[in-house]
Structure 1
Amino acid sequence: MGHWWERNILEPGKLPLLLALTAFVVTFLVTRVITRMIRAGRGPFGNVKAGGLHIHHVVPGVLLTVVGGFGAVASDRHGAGGAVAAVVFGMGVGLVLDEFALILHLDDVYWSAEGRKSVEVVVLTAALVLLLLAGFSPFGVNDLTQDELQDRGSAIGTIAGNFVFALVALGKGKTRIAVFGAIVPLVAIVGAVRLARPGSPWARRFYGRRPRARAKAALRAYRHDRRWARPRRALQDWIGGKPDPRPLRLPDRR
């Protein structure tokens, strides 16, 4: 275990990344536990207010992110200062992304269905950092041999090709696949060759005069969403808490 730790974490200088990821995940989980206790009216915690203003935890999160980011830039990556800065940065990112939906909508949607976006972004971020920690590099740079790395043309061609695949997957409305495909090229290739989701820029551009392709894409999207939407919502609710039910809107009879 000691040899693995030395070879895979310390020597490549990945300790700050590991500390930042750990602080990020722990901060997010602790924050969700506290907010769920506040929501249920349990425990000694409560909303932070100053002069009648509700201070969301994204505010200290931004401050911690700024301090940790500048501290990491100014400190030695292998020293204690770099480790402390990484922990501070991870804590800040955990607080900020926990309220990602609030930033996106510019509204307090923490316990609404839109608030699930925060949990989704946190899970996606943690997964991507884990891939980086495991040695994956963006656009498949880690897959290049030493000879290819020395050949600048081959390296640039590989990076450009993987970038195009990820961009095509994004144009087909497959955001998650495009993001993961930037780290794992095979994922981007799969997303690029499969049918686009209805309403995506690719579908509007290339399926406009192909009714069979539109119907096939719509059927595939329906089957995919029917299979995975409910388990995904259940996982998000288990991690972040179940959102409040939407209020019923009575029809206007004027």
Structure 2
Amino acid sequence: MDRWMHHLAEHGRLPLLFFLVGFIVGFVFIRVSVRLIRAQVRWWPGNVTPGGHHVHHVVFGVVCMLASGIALIAVYVDGTQTTGAVLATFFGIGAALVLDEFALIFYLADVYWAEQGRASVDAVFVAIAVTVMLLFGLRPLELFDVSGFREDPNPAVRGLIVALAVVNLLLAGMVLLKGKIWTGLVGLFVFPLLIVGAIRLSRPSAPWARWRYTRKPKRMERALRREKNIRRPLIRAKIWTQDMIAGTPNVEHVLEATEVELDRTVVAAPPPPTSGDDRRRVSI
């Protein structure tokens, strides 16, 4: 363990480790907190509501990230790894609070406890996976490859490096808009995943489907059918496990309950509002 910590410190990754620790602790804390608040546990502090207005915890996350991020920039040259590790911990806590409400930001709607709210959990686990890969020395293809940019004075080579980084980001953004969070973020490390994610159909409830498929019923139908085919084995396994725990496993019940669950959770995105529609209010 000491050898690994020494290796991380030698390669300047100690702040990244503390970011990961702060991120995980912050996420676990806020998930426990919101469940205690929802259960109306008396001894647990409730929502922050100054003047009757509920303040989302994403706000505290943004403030924490901004404060620690500015401090990290301020001590970038003269600061020690210890200082960086402390600030990175707070940055990780803030990032956890923000990503816990990723679905709210992504869908611009109150979906924290809804099926779409799972996007927040996906985003959190993707962030953890990406951080772990960075800890082990992996880097997103071209995105962080600045050594070639610095070493080669040829404008054409530098332009190519910048172009590849831009293509990576654009494809990742497209894949994320299609609702494929894991594919989009992990694809920064494995470029072919971005190509596959950009070509394949969007998830039916994603913003891309809302903008592009609501006027193309056949494509939306294909997206719904594909989503059900992907999720069907997972839901069957979940229901079978629940039945096993309850002591009443039944194949017919599993098959029937799976289709009911798919019909309930796999739905098409609503059409985008027209210019005359009022903007939806977001509240939790």
Report the TM-score when normalising by structure 1.
0.67
Alignment identity in percent?
Answer: 35
Which secondary structure does the structure 2 equivalent of 1:111 belong to? coil
Relative to structure 2, which stretch is displaced further, 165-174 or 50-59? 165-174
The 3 A distance-change label for structure 1 pair 58 and 230 is: farther
Partner of 1:238: none
Partner of 1:223: 229
CA distance in 1, matches of 2:59, 2:168: 37
Checking the alignment, whether the CA contact within 8 Å between 2:142 and 2:164 is kept in structure 1 is: no
How big is each residue's C-alpha offset from its partner over 1:22-50, in whole Å with a ceiling of 9 and x where there is no partner? Answer: 10111111111111111112252212221
The one of 86, 89, 114 aligned to 1:87? 89
The 3 A distance-change label for structure 1 pair 190 and 83 is: same
Partner of 1:117: 119
The 3 A distance-change label for structure 1 pair 220 and 135 is: same
Which secondary structure does the structure 1 equivalent of 2:141 belong to? helix
Q: How does 1:39-78 map to 2 (within 5 A)?
A: 39-45=38-44, 46-76=46-76, 78=80
Letter in 2 for 1:170: V
CA distance in 2, matches of 1:174, 1:108: 17
CA distance in 2, matches of 1:165, 1:48: 36
Partner of 1:170: 175
Checking the alignment, whether the CA contact within 8 Å between 1:38 and 1:47 is kept in structure 2 is: yes
How big is each residue's C-alpha offset from its partner over 1:112-146, in whole Å with a ceiling of 9 and x where there is no partner? Answer: 33322221211122211222122111116799xx9
Aligned pair count?
Answer: 224
- Shift of the alpha carbon at 1:89? 0.8
Letter in 2 for 1:16: P
Partner of 1:239: none
Q: How does 1:205-224 map to 2 (within 5 A)?
A: 222-224=228-230
CA distance in 2, matches of 1:216, 1:106: 25
Checking the alignment, whether the CA contact within 8 Å between 1:20 and 1:86 is kept in structure 2 is: yes
Establish whether residue 180 from structure 1 lines up as the match of residue 186 from structure 2: yes
CA distance in 1, matches of 2:121, 2:230: 21
Partner of 2:140: 138
Checking the alignment, whether the CA contact within 8 Å between 2:142 and 2:165 is kept in structure 1 is: no
- Shift of the alpha carbon at 1:84? 1.8
Checking the alignment, whether the CA contact within 8 Å between 1:140 and 1:184 is kept in structure 2 is: no
Which secondary structure does the structure 2 equivalent of 1:136 belong to? coil
Relative to structure 2, which stretch is displaced further, 29-38 or 73-82? 73-82
Partner of 2:257: none
The 3 A distance-change label for structure 1 pair 120 and 231 is: farther
CA distance in 1, matches of 2:67, 2:51: 26
- Shift of the alpha carbon at 1:220? 5.5
Checking the alignment, whether the CA contact within 8 Å between 2:103 and 2:116 is kept in structure 1 is: yes
Checking the alignment, whether the CA contact within 8 Å between 1:19 and 1:86 is kept in structure 2 is: yes
- TM-align CA RMSD: 4.3
CA distance in 2, matches of 1:97, 1:165: 19
Which secondary structure does the structure 2 equivalent of 1:179 belong to? helix
Letter in 2 for 1:223: N
CA distance in 1, matches of 2:2, 2:230: 44
CA distance in 1, matches of 2:203, 2:60: 40
Report the TM-score when normalising by structure 2.
0.61
The 3 A distance-change label for structure 1 pair 127 and 171 is: closer
- Shift of the alpha carbon at 1:187? 3.8
- Shift of the alpha carbon at 1:178? 3.2
CA distance in 2, matches of 1:101, 1:215: 24
How big is each residue's C-alpha offset from its partner over 1:205-244, in whole Å with a ceiling of 9 and x where there is no partner? Answer: xxx9xx9xx99988655422323467799xxxxxxxxxxx
Checking the alignment, whether the CA contact within 8 Å between 1:172 and 1:195 is kept in structure 2 is: no
Establish whether residue 14 from structure 1 lines up as the match of residue 13 from structure 2: yes
CA distance in 2, matches of 1:64, 1:172: 26
The 3 A distance-change label for structure 1 pair 186 and 142 is: farther
